[in-house]
Amino acid sequence: MKYDVNKTGYYGKFGGSYIPEMLYSNIEELNKNYLSIINTKSFNKNFNYLLKHYVGRPTPLYFAKRLSKKYGSKIYLKREDLCHTGAHKINNTVGQILLAKELKKSKIVAETGAGQHGVATATVCSLMGMDCIIYMGEVDISRQRPNVERMKILGAEVRSVTSGSKTLKDATNEAMRHWINNPNDTHYIIGSVVGPHPYPDMVARFQSVISEELLLQLKEVEGREYPDYILACVGGGSNAAGIYYHYLDNLKVNLVGIEAAGLGIESKKSAATTQLGKEGVLHGSKTLLMQDENGQVTEPYSISAGLDYPGIGPLHAHLYDSKRGQYLSVEDNDAMKAGIELSRLEGIIPAIETAHAFAVFDRLNIKDKVVVVNLSGRGDKDLETYIKWGKY
């Protein structure tokens, strides 16, 4: 595949493995084994079993009739919001925990921002009876209380990170440090298509179950496997990578990623990485990155904690750079309005991350076209934010 990662872990000029020497042996072990493990019959049997009976897959492809009418096109929603724990993230954590078992690891470490990945990780750890340590910034702990308690109920230990800006970026640093210090018994479950190779490729493969299902589901309802447009919100880019995956080489499909513009691109309070980012290295891979003139990573902002990341996965940096993908950004207010619109027209309250993807129909040439939006997660976790915003 043209947009596939190459042997050295690059998508075009992005990706690779920029890691401290202390991490070499961990990454090398993973790199040597991940493909041979995840391609075995027994792995796939276990993975598919859990996706079906535990996660609740295949997720429906729902034709959004009233939304379609409003925008004069055929809009389908891929219902990842119906997955166990409320979002697509569980697809990846189920895959990685099975991999960790095969690698004979007994402990799991992970980072989390909003807590969604932390919850998905804590969930599969209890499922498998493995120890679970989650690093989370002090700031995020105080603003994402329900998810912190969820992780604790599930039996995970949540460690507060007080370095730097005390948010996701710092939690990721600490989780990596923990892994360096515990290489033998611990596997690190990263939450998006970011990090050193092979993480971006591995996470994309686990999430690619989304586009694999979509091929069949579209064939059934539209008589052809592909849509004209695929829309997905992009934080690190895992739900987008998962729904793009089997369409990357089909140039008839317009791939659209939607980033968070926060209070506005020019406001210095946003997370619109493709528009504002420059090439740089973060968390082990070369990618597009929001940084100041000295190369210091700048603090991202979005009303949705899940899009609040200063970088973007290297696959997306490459899709943007090569123009295979189109990347738009949406401000807080417009995302919130789109979330309310979906609630009113279809009876589905989306996660605020997801709501961003519903705010760009007017900016695309989608009249009479077949459009699929990845409905990455449900809005239960965001009720407080909806209430605070208030305009409904």
Ligand X SMILES: *Cc1c(COP(=O)(O)O)cnc(C)c1O
Any idea which residues carry the catalytic annotation? 89, 111, 376
235 binds ligand X (CB under 6 A): yes
Distances (CA, A) of 42 to 39, 46, 97, 102, 208: 9, 6, 14, 11, 19
Tokens 């043209």, residue located: 2
Binding residue (CB under 6 A) for ligand X from 17, 123, 172, 192: 192
2-10, 136-144, 289-297, 348-356 -> range binding ligand X (CB under 6 A): 348-356
Binding residue (CB under 6 A) for ligand X from 100, 130, 154, 233: 233
Distances (CA, A) of 317 to 48, 63, 163, 264, 304: 30, 31, 28, 21, 21
Q: Please, what is the minimum distance in Å from the beta carbon of residue 330 to ligand X?
A: 13
- Between 135 and 180, whose beta carbon lies closer to ligand X? 135
354 binds ligand X (CB under 6 A): yes
CA angle, 334 then 241 then 190, to 5°: 100
- Between 74 and 208, whose beta carbon lies closer to ligand X? 208
93 binds ligand X (CB under 6 A): no
- Between 16 and 86, whose beta carbon lies closer to ligand X? 86
195 binds ligand X (CB under 6 A): no
Distance between CA atoms of 178 and 293, rounded to whole angstroms? 30
Binding residue (CB under 6 A) for ligand X from 98, 377, 385, 386: 377
Residue with CB nearest ligand X?
377
List, edge to edge, every strand of the sheet that includes 107-112.
Answer: 157-161, 131-137, 107-112, 186-188
Q: Please, what is the minimum distance in Å from the beta carbon of residue 69 to ligand X?
A: 26
Q: How many beta carbons lie within 10 A of that of residue 367, not counting itself?
A: 8
Binding mask 96-125 for ligand X (x = CB under 6 A): --------------------x---------
Which is nearest to 284 in space by CA: 192, 204, 205, 208? 192
Binding residue (CB under 6 A) for ligand X from 102, 353, 372, 382: 353
Sign of CA dihedral 67, 246, 112, 185: positive
Distances (CA, A) of 295 to 96, 228, 290: 32, 38, 9
Q: Please, what is the minimum distance in Å from the beta carbon of residue 192 to ligand X?
A: 3
95-103, 156-164, 233-241, 284-292 -> range binding ligand X (CB under 6 A): 233-241
19-27, 124-132, 230-238, 278-286 -> range binding ligand X (CB under 6 A): 230-238
Percent of the chain that is helix, strand, coil (3-state, to 5): 50, 20, 30
- Between 351 and 370, whose beta carbon lies closer to ligand X? 351
Task: Return all residues near 211 (Cβ < 8 A) that are at least 6 apart.
Answer: 242, 243, 244, 245, 246, 247
Task: Return all residues near 258 (Cβ < 8 A) that are at least 6 apart.
Answer: 231, 232, 233, 234, 327, 328, 329, 330, 356, 357, 359, 360
Distance between CA atoms of 174 and 161, rounded to whole angstroms? 7
Tokens 């004069």, residue located: 72
Whether the CB-CB separation of 73 and 365 falls below 8 Å is answered with: no
Total residues binding ligand X (CB under 6 A): 18
Distance separating the N- and C-terminal Cα atoms of the chain: 45
230 binds ligand X (CB under 6 A): no
15-23, 228-236, 323-331, 338-346 -> range binding ligand X (CB under 6 A): 228-236
217 binds ligand X (CB under 6 A): no
Q: Please, what is the minimum distance in Å from the beta carbon of residue 207 to ligand X?
A: 8
41-49, 216-224, 350-358, 363-371 -> range binding ligand X (CB under 6 A): 350-358
234 binds ligand X (CB under 6 A): yes
- Between 175 and 180, whose beta carbon lies closer to ligand X? 175
By the criterion CB under 6 A, which residues form the site for ligand X?
A: 87, 89, 116, 192, 233-239, 306-307, 351, 353-354, 376-377
